[in-house]
Amino acid sequence: MISAWTAADVRAAEEPLLAAGEPLMERASFALAVQVLADLRARRRHVRGARVALLVGAGNNGGDTLHAGAVLARRGVAVTAVLTSDRVHAGGLVALRGAGGTVVDLAATPERTGAVADDAAGADVVLDGLLGIGARGALRGLAGDLVSALVSRCAVGVKSAGSERSEPADFTPTAPGGGRERERGPWVVAVDLPSGIGVDDGTLPGPVLAADRTVTFGAAKPGLLLPPAARVVGAVTVVDIGLDPAGPPAVRRLEPADVGAYWPVPGPADHKYTRGVVGLVAGTATYPGAAVLAASAAVRTGTGMVRYRGSDPVARAVLAARPEVVTATGRVQSWVVGPGIPTTRDRDDPADDGQHDRGRGGLAVAAGNLPGTSYGPVPAVVDAGGLPLLAESNPPWFVLTPHAGELAGLLRSRGEDVHRDDVEAAPLHWARRAHELTGATVLLKGGVTLVVGPDGAWAQADAPGWLATAGAGDVLAGILGTMLAARSEEIVAGPALAAEVAAGAVLVHGLAAERANPGGPVAALDVAAAVPATVAGLLEQRR
Ligand SMILES: NC(=O)C1=CN([C@@H]2O[C@H](COP(=O)(O)OP(=O)(O)OC[C@H]3O[C@@H](n4cnc5c(N)ncnc54)[C@H](O)[C@@H]3O)[C@@H](O)[C@H]2O)[C@@H](O)CC1
Ligand SMILES: Nc1ncnc2c1ncn2[C@@H]1O[C@H](COP(=O)(O)OP(=O)(O)O)[C@@H](O)[C@H]1O
Ligand SMILES: [K+]
């Protein structure tokens, strides 16, 4: 698992160590220099004679950068530090000058910004040390001007899907094949984080120089995992400088081993009911495919049984694809409500095939709101047309699975003035808001999928861009339904678990998409078909 702590938590963890005289900056800057030397060696034959430009801001982030520059200069690298403030880290400046580095005081000559940017754009490596965890809002002043000038000189483009990111890293915050490629310009290494990203919320409030690598100190920061900033951090290397942040991380990311470790493997005493039964309210005459996709995915993920609820013609389509599905009513351990049913609240909408009523019924059971039945409470997945069926207040074992447009609609229905673009610009903020307003766990789908529950947030980036295809969301709903059903009682007893299970479902979905056709296009049903081998691969890792 990758864990990220907020700037405040990192500072709190640093404090006692700094008070005890631990040389944190020395550790950080030395590790940074070692990484830059490795990157240089990977890119050119000789380190000696390489050109490295340091972009230096007013704080300790600039201090780290200057000290790393001193190490590089002593190895024969031609290092030039561009100072964007008249009060940069004094010790770092002395060290760099002592090692033979060159200093350009841009703060004293701001009219040279264009020429300095030209020069930096011609370097082999640029170290972005303008701002670290002390960043507040958009990059301002000279630092902002310099970055804007550099961005215009180092055009970046998004790699075509399928191209490989080969840089060694602790994690790559974008999905496979979704990396970026600088069309021209230097290799950019962000010091601690790319200057100007929202450290704790992953927003991009102003200009940011996209990095090829981020060397981050002590622990990952939320902005390195969260969209949209995750798209500009490159390959992330976490350097251990002895920090031990207290409390739960602000954002986490599951790795395959985490999901494999807790996957429920049936034993000799199990039968289909102990494994979990999924109740599925999905599909209409207009969108029958959603029912087929969700049912297929639920079956392929290893459910004990799928009970399908819908009109006869759709049920026939489901059974033709998956004869394992049953249509008889009975107890279920999780409900999946909404794929392929209309998003209107109109009970009389003939296009709803009666699914709104069935969906409301399922959700009432899942919430434990039907006195006299012993069938609830159980977890539920609420997708697409299920979202308008939600009550005002919902239990956290409900997992809502909107994409950005659906999340905006849900929030508007609860009084927020928000549109799809706003959600895409600050997804963590709006997913948290939806969790607060509905009480439910919120899984916000996208290139990086966020899950927010009572116990914090998860950010998963497991899927190739090819997964952005019709029906992929229905497959996720089916996978998640099976995973929730398998741990139904545990989740209702400790609903914070719903978010972790949901993050696990996103990981399985993403890995299955990659497995279905590595490096190429995938169809939603093929993603479902790839789930069994994906799960077997996860289980293999725990042997
Ligand atoms: N304290 C230490 O000894 C350690 C600090 N570390 C480094 O120190 C960094 C944090 O240092 P600081 O607390 O000095 O903070 P920063 O280095 O992030 O810089 C804060 C400075 O930037 C200015 N600033 C803030 N927002 C701005 C904006 N939007 N536009 C322009 N200027 C802005 C502030 O006025 C302040 O002067 C970490 O990110 C890390 O790189 C690491 O070396 C680990 C040890
Ligand atoms: N750029 C992307 N990279 C990887 N996965 C993506 C990307 N865009 C969307 N996805 C994933 O594809 C799925 C699309 O689901 P959804 O929007 O509900 O489609 P549908 O309703 O047609 O099933 C989600 O799981 C989402 O996370
Ligand atoms: K930085």
- Residue 338: the pLDDT is 97
Nearest alpha carbon to residue 133 among 50, 228, 197, 210: 197
Residues 65 and 144 in one domain: yes
How far is Cα 186 from Cα 95, in angstroms, rounded to an integer?
24
Residues 82 and 125 in one domain: yes
The identity of residue 398, as a single letter, is: F
Task: Specify if 288 maps to a domain.
Answer: yes
Residues 134 and 83 in one domain: yes
What's the 246 CA to ligand 3 centre distance in angstroms?
A: 24
Per DSSP, the residues of 273-297 read: HHH-EEEEE---SS-HHHHHHHHHH
Annotation-wise, does 192 bind a ligand?
Answer: yes
Choosing from 199, 225, 242, the residue where a domain stops is 242
How far is Cα 1 from Cα 249, in angstroms, rounded to an integer?
11
Question: Is ligand 2 within 6 A of the CB of residue 467?
Answer: yes
Distance, CA of 95 to chain centre:
38
Q: Which atom of ligand 2 is nearest to the CA of 446?
A: 27
Cα distances from 280 to residues 293, 474, 527, in angstroms, run 11, 11, 19
Nearest alpha carbon to residue 432 among 458, 464, 471: 458
What CATH number is given to the structural domain containing 231?
Answer: 3.40.50.10260
Strand, helix or coil for residue 303? coil
Identify the H or E element spanning 450. Answer: strand 449-453
Give the ranges where 301-334 is alpha helix by DSSP (H). Answer: 312-321
Q: Give me the phi and psi of 157, to 5 degrees please.
A: -135, 160
Q: What is the Cα Rg of the chain in Å? A: 26
> Cβ(386)–Cβ(340) under 8 Å?
no
What's the 259 CA to ligand 2 centre distance in angstroms?
A: 21
Beta bridge partners of 251: 4, 457
Q: Using most ligand atoms within 8 A of CB, pick from 403, 442, 462, 466 the residue to mutate for ligand 2.
A: 403
How far is Cα 448 from Cα 507, in angstroms, rounded to an integer?
11
What's the 221 CA to ligand 3 centre distance in angstroms?
A: 12
Residues 536 and 473 in one domain: yes
Residues 165 and 298 in one domain: no
What CATH number is given to the structural domain containing 507?
Answer: 3.40.1190.20
Strands 456-460 and 449-453: antiparallel
The domain in which residue 303 lies consists of 273-541
Strand, helix or coil for residue 213? strand
Beta bridge partners of 337: 281, 382
Nearest CA to ligand 1 atom 21: 59
How far is Cα 14 from Cα 21, in angstroms, rounded to an integer?
11
**Tokens encoding 7:** 């700037």
Task: Specify if 279 maps to a domain.
Answer: yes
What's the 469 CA to ligand 2 centre distance in angstroms?
A: 6
Residues 81 and 217 in one domain: yes
Give the relative orientation of helices 531-541 and 288-300 as an angle to the nearest 10 degrees.
30
Question: Is ligand 1 within 6 A of the CB of residue 242?
Answer: no
Enumerate residues 6+ apart whose C-beta is below 8 A from 116: 82, 104, 106, 146, 149
Residues 172 and 289 in one domain: no
Nearest alpha carbon to residue 457 among 487, 412, 426, 496: 496
**Which-ligand-closest: CA of 213?**
3
Nearest CA to ligand 1 atom 28: 139
> Cβ(499)–Cβ(485) under 8 Å?
no
Nearest CA to ligand 2 atom 19: 473
* Count of beta carbons in the 10 Å neighbourhood of residue 388: 20
Enumerate residues 6+ apart whose C-beta is below 8 A from 111: none
Nearest alpha carbon to residue 413 among 397, 425, 402, 399: 402
- The conformation of residue 78, written as its DSSP 8-state character, comes to E
Cα distances from 178 to residues 80, 399, 417, 425, 506, in angstroms, run 32, 27, 31, 18, 17
Residues 128 and 227 in one domain: yes
What's the 58 CA to ligand 3 centre distance in angstroms?
A: 11
Nearest CA to ligand 2 atom 25: 473
Task: Specify if 264 maps to a domain.
Answer: no
Residues 12 and 149 in one domain: yes
Strand, helix or coil for residue 540? helix
Residues 104 and 177 in one domain: yes
Identify the H or E element spanning 141. Answer: helix 141-153
Annotation-wise, does 445 bind a ligand?
Answer: yes
Task: Specify if 268 maps to a domain.
Answer: no
Choosing from 242, 260, 282, the residue where a domain stops is 242
Task: Specify if 247 maps to a domain.
Answer: no
Q: With a cut of 70, list the residues of the chain below it in pLDDT.
A: 155-166, 173-184, 345-348
* Count of beta carbons in the 10 Å neighbourhood of residue 183: 9
**Tokens encoding 162:** 């399928």
Q: pTM for the whole thing?
A: 0.95
- Residue 181: the pLDDT is 54
* Count of beta carbons in the 10 Å neighbourhood of residue 470: 11
Question: Is ligand 1 within 6 A of the CB of residue 68?
Answer: no
- Residue 155: the pLDDT is 65
Question: Is ligand 1 within 6 A of the CB of residue 28?
Answer: yes
Residues 312 and 384 in one domain: yes
Task: Specify if 404 maps to a domain.
Answer: yes
Nearest alpha carbon to residue 107 among 145, 79, 139: 145
Choosing from 222, 242, 262, the residue where a domain stops is 242
- Residue 165: the pLDDT is 44
Task: Specify if 381 maps to a domain.
Answer: yes
Residues 12 and 69 in one domain: yes
Annotation-wise, does 448 bind a ligand?
Answer: yes
> Cβ(502)–Cβ(492) under 8 Å?
no
What's the 135 CA to ligand 1 centre distance in angstroms?
A: 6
Exposed, middle or buried: residue 184 (CB in 10 Å: 0-12, 13-18, 19+)?
A: exposed
Give the relative orientation of helices 531-541 and 496-516 as an angle to the nearest 10 degrees.
110
How far is Cα 439 from Cα 193, in angstroms, rounded to an integer?
33
Task: Specify if 251 maps to a domain.
Answer: no
Count of structural domains, the chain: 2
Beta-strand ranges (E) seen in 101-184 are: 102-105, 125-129, 156-158, 180-182
- Residue 354: the pLDDT is 93
Question: Is ligand 1 within 6 A of the CB of residue 141?
Answer: yes
- Going across the sheet that includes 398-400, the strands are 2-4, 251-253, 456-460, 449-453, 441-444, 398-400, 380-382, 334-337, 277-281, 305-309
Question: Is ligand 2 within 6 A of the CB of residue 401?
Answer: no
